[in-house]
Amino acid sequence: MKHLSAALQCFLALFILAGESHPQDRNRLAGQNEALFLQLRQVHQLTDEQMAKIRAVFAASGYMGQGNPAITQHPFTTEQCEKKLESQGVTYANGAFEKICGAKYMAPLYKATAQKPEDARSCIDQFEFPNIPAAYPVVWVRTREAAELCGIQGKRLCDAHEWEGACAGSLEEPDYRFDLARGKTPEQAIGLMREAHNRKYGPSKSWSYGPAYRKGVCAASSRKSPACTGGSWSQCGSNTFPAGSFPECASSLQVYDLNGNAAEHMNLPLNQSQMSSRGSRELGYTEMKGSWFIFDTYPAHQDWCRWRAPFWHGSRVLDKQSHQNYHLGFRCCKSIHGENTASR
């Protein structure tokens, strides 16, 4: 009955979402996404084939984009963000990183106490998808769709420990307690693994910018839409900031907006065969990382770097009905130096 109830809840949520979509909103969203597709092609030099696949993923969703344009109210415009960065002399182009990662706006992941950026075997997007400075994050995306979009670009969905390393400033060896998952249901396994992980790292908790939470540093001073009491498309605007609006909201590995703006989908493996960083195509379970755009006034949950969340709205990553909402996006990772990159 428990599984039936979850399936029924998912169906009802989809029914409500479908009923909220109006033709005018759809047209505005389509126009917004067209501008996004143009940016993606130009900035990341994507091919016609890649763009056709990206368009197909967006079209199948019906909701994916930078928020419901009918109600979303961004605190900054992209132009305001660009002027702010220009006045501060901030530029995010990094030729050295681009050479290492083989892609624009990616940062190498490495153990800071023993390695150099050139030793990295994986990289992570410096910003949330579309991974373009001054662009708004893409939200209303499911983990399956995120994995597909990463794969189309020759990247992959990050494992949880990779995001954590990017945030904390050092990529440590994977610490997944697979032994605790044996003989357990996925929900039980995730609970036990999460508890062990958080107990290990809780005493040394940190945020991307330092050892204590600080207001005003990251894109976390926005507000919910007045009528937003749940996760409704028609009532909850994605009131995010342009990516990179807060240059100080960065880890020592030069990865931005890990705290604030949009929370992010990640892959949580329950065994080695589900590790994206080891070339898995089946992937594991959903993990939410980071925090979102209202946290300076409403810290809804923990958001320190290596914190692992409860199994909220949990499912397999590749579940067609994995969770989506107005403040949840993603960023991609990429294996380099001959390691396998899982494409989908």
Per-residue pLDDT of 181-240, as tens digits, reads 999 999 999 999 999 999 999 999 999 999 999 999 999 999 999 999 989 999 999 999
Regions of the chain with pLDDT less than 50: 1-16, 18-19, 338-344
Domain count, the chain: 1
**Per the domain annotation, does 198 fall within a domain?**
yes
Beta-carbon contacts of residue 77 (< 8 Å; ≥ 6 apart): 242
Alpha helices in the chain (DSSP H): 2-20, 23-44, 48-61, 78-87, 95-101, 143-152, 160-168, 186-201
Position 21 scores a pLDDT of: 55
Rg (the chain; Cα; Å): 19
Closest CA to 315 of 263, 262, 268: 268
Domain encompassing residue 223: 17-335
Give the domain CATH number at 297: 3.90.1580
**Per the domain annotation, does 76 fall within a domain?**
yes
Closest CA to 255 of 325, 341, 326, 162: 162
**Per the domain annotation, does 7 fall within a domain?**
no
**Per the domain annotation, does 79 fall within a domain?**
yes
**Per the domain annotation, does 10 fall within a domain?**
no
Q: In angstroms, rounded to a whole number, what is the distance separating the alpha carbons of residues 162 and 123?
A: 9
**Per the domain annotation, does 74 fall within a domain?**
yes
Q: Residue holding tokens 């992980």? A: 197
Position 171 scores a pLDDT of: 98
Position 4 scores a pLDDT of: 37
**Per the domain annotation, does 11 fall within a domain?**
no
Please give the backbone phi and psi of residue 200, each rounded to the nearest 5 degrees, phi first.
-70, -45
* CA angle, 302 then 306 then 312, to 5°: 50
Share of the chain above pLDDT 90, in %: 88
Q: Residue holding tokens 């605007």? A: 237
Position 26 scores a pLDDT of: 75
Task: Judge contact between 339 and 279, C-beta under 8 A.
Answer: yes
Position 2 scores a pLDDT of: 37
Position 13 scores a pLDDT of: 45
**Per the domain annotation, does 8 fall within a domain?**
no
Please give the backbone phi and psi of residue 181, each rounded to the nearest 5 degrees, phi first.
-90, -15
Q: In angstroms, rounded to a whole number, what is the distance separating the alpha carbons of residues 167 and 15?
A: 37
Sheet holding 122-125, edge to edge: 106-109, 122-125, 332-335, 156-157
Position 27 scores a pLDDT of: 87
